[in-house]
Each structure stands twice: as structure tokens, then as C-alpha cells.
Amino acid sequence: MTASARTHFATAARRRGRRGFTFTEVLFAVMILGVGFILIAGIFPVSLSQVKLNNEESTAASVARAAVSYLQRQAELPNGGEMFRATVPNSYAPPSGGTLTFPQSFSYYGQVWSLYDDRMHLQTTAPADPFTHQAQRDLMWGTVSGNMIFSGDPRFAWTAVYRRDMTYLKGTNGSVSEVPDPYAQVTVIVLQSRNKPTFTQEDIATRNLAARRAKATFATGAQCEITTNPQYAAEGAYVIVSQDPGVSGRRPEGWMNGRVYRLGTREPTDPNKYDLVPGSDFQTDPGPDGKYGNADDVSTLNNVEVVIVGPGFLNGAPEGSAMDVSAFTSYVKVSN
């Protein structure tokens, strides 16, 4: 036998002596690979959802910045004071000279109004200058609504609510003058179309983007109940206190105005009740004295006026989930 033949037979013998994988080993290997693939596959939907959420938040921040900048420019116009009038209802009776002693003043915490609110001041006589003295509601909506749909991505839009306080000051002659606060507090709510591909001019014409009035009850550690107009509410909607009636001897009227809360999961057994989102939930307020544990603490708000955007309307009825994406509060300086 030659040397090459001996080498061939030795190599063949070694190959025959190698042990292969058993069926059980192969089965376990496949199972381990399968579990790994399942775990990896599970990451992708979460990642895609997180990317989508990050994109929405990024767009919302851009929309909100643009909205606040736009509202500031409108407030600085010569008729800015007409649009952003002090949010004092027509029915409010201001203090008279007899109830104030010079140089005493009285501040009224403004209500929170939408940009098309039926509490706005209405023009009852024919104005000499329709542009600067028309009904506040028509002036406000007609001025700002054309800018609400985000031109860069019409799936997004914004709306806003605002409040502006009023001070009543008694002069040396005994008369009481009205001094609106130089700043208005605005809360911009960024919206995304949920029940159709994009927002359109129909949403402007039908005022689908305007916040709506409702009533709600809040309590520390408890659910929020929408007591009036619950059809305007939905999971994810922001609820903003519009008018806190106050409690005589404890806190003035309007103390909690402008507080922003967000609705979370709806109560299965009561569709008018919602959990509040952590971080946007109702917490006890220390009241005017700034100290907890005193009689002026605010631990409940019972059936108070609120404003909500919530779901979009189609054919006159709310449909789909809440349009709300995020809310930003800022201040704009008003020209007069």
C-alpha cells in the first residue's frame, strides 16, 4: 500500500469516527433561535411606535412655537386689545366707588375663553370702524383661524384658549377705573386629525378647532367626572378650568382658572368618568396663603366650568379619539 493510500484510509476512518448532531440537539437549537427571533421581532413595533411618538412631539413643539409667536404678533397690533380683551363676563358687576377706599384696588381673575367663545363681548351697535370695533368673537376667530392648520403638515393644527385679568382701581375723585393686565395667558393645544386624513378649511368654517365649554368635577386622588356636555370629552383630551367660582372667605373667584389637566382611561362602568394622566392630574392646591393644611386648601372643584377640545366633529357629531397631542402655556403682551 502506498503512502497516499494509507493517508486516504486514515482520513476516511477519522471522518467515520466523528459524532453528528442528534435530533434533540437540533430541536433545542431551533427553539432557542425561534425565541430569539420572536424577541427581536417584538422590538420593531415598539421602536416604530416610539419613532412615531417622537415625530408627533417634535412636530407639536414646532407648531406650538409658531402659534405662540403668531398670537404675540396679533396681540401687538393696534387692535390687539380688542381681540384679547380682559376675560370678564358681561354679567359681572365690578366694585363701585363705595366699596373701595382710595388707593384700594381689586383684581378679578379672568375666566378662560376659547378663541370663539359665546362669553366674548358682542358688538350691539353699528361700529364706526368695523375692523377695530366688531364683535370680539368674530374679530378673534376671523383673525387667527386662517393660521391654525399647519402648512408644513396639514395633519396637524393648533387652537388656543386665553385669560386676561382685570384690576379695578379707585382714583382720588372716587371713580373706579378698569385696568386690564398687560399680559394675557394663552394655552396652545396642538391637534392631530384623527377621523380623516388632514384638516381642511371646513374645520375652520365649522369651528371644529375651537375649544368647547363643559363642566367637570375634580378631587385629589379621584377620577374626573365630566358633568355637562360629556360628548366633548375623550381619552387624551385636555381639560382646562375656565371658571372657578371660589369659596367665600377661603379663596377668591377664579383662583384655579387656567389649570390644565389631561384625561386618561375612561371608567368602564361610567363613561363620564376618567382617570387623569399622571403629571397632569389634580393635586391639592395650597390656596392664597401658599401653605398646605389650612382651610383655604383646594382639594376639590365641584361642577366647575371647563373648556375642552376633544374629538373632531363629522356631520355635527363627535367622532374618533381626542385630537389633542400636547398643550403649552405661555404669555403674550397685549398692545392696550
Interval 13-27: pLDDT, tens: 555 555 667 877 777
Three cell numbers, residue 208? 371644529
Whether residue 214 contacts residue 226, with contact meaning beta carbons closer than 8 Å, is answered with: yes
pLDDT band at 129 (very low <50, low <70, confident <90, very high): very low
What is the C-alpha to C-alpha distance for residues 189 and 169, in angstroms, rounded to an integer? 34
Residue 104: pLDDT band (50, 70, 90) is confident
Overall average pLDDT of the 42-60 stretch: 64
Q: How many CB atoms lie within 10 A of CB 180?
A: 19
For 302, the grid coordinates are: 365641584
pLDDT bin (cut points 50, 70, 90) of residue 98 is low
The pLDDT of residue 238 is above 80:
yes
Using pLDDT thresholds of 50, 70 and 90, give the confidence band for residue 111. very high
Q: Which of 158-162, 192-196, 309-313 has the highest mean pLDDT?
A: 158-162
Q: Report residue 10's pLDDT band, with 50, 70 and 90 as the boundaries.
A: low
Q: What is residue 127's predicted lDDT score, i.e. its pLDDT? A: 47
Q: Report whether pLDDT(131) > 50.
A: no
**Cβ atoms of 298 and 282 closer than 8 Å:** no
Fill in the DSSP letter of residue 182: S
pLDDT at position 186 is 97
pLDDT of amino acid 168: 87
Q: For the beta carbon of residue 187, count every other beta carbon within 10 angstroms.
A: 21
**Per the omega criterion (within 30 degrees of 0), is the bond before 103 cis?**
yes
Q: What is the pLDDT of residue 60?
A: 86
Comparison of pLDDT for 92 and 153, the residue scoring more: 153
Is residue 49 within 8 Å of 143, Cβ to Cβ?
Answer: no
Positive/negative CA dihedral, 60, 259, 284, 168: positive
Q: How far apart (Å, rounded) are the C-alpha atoms in residues 307 and 231?
A: 13
Q: What global pTM score does this model have?
A: 0.81
Strand partners, 188: 160, 328
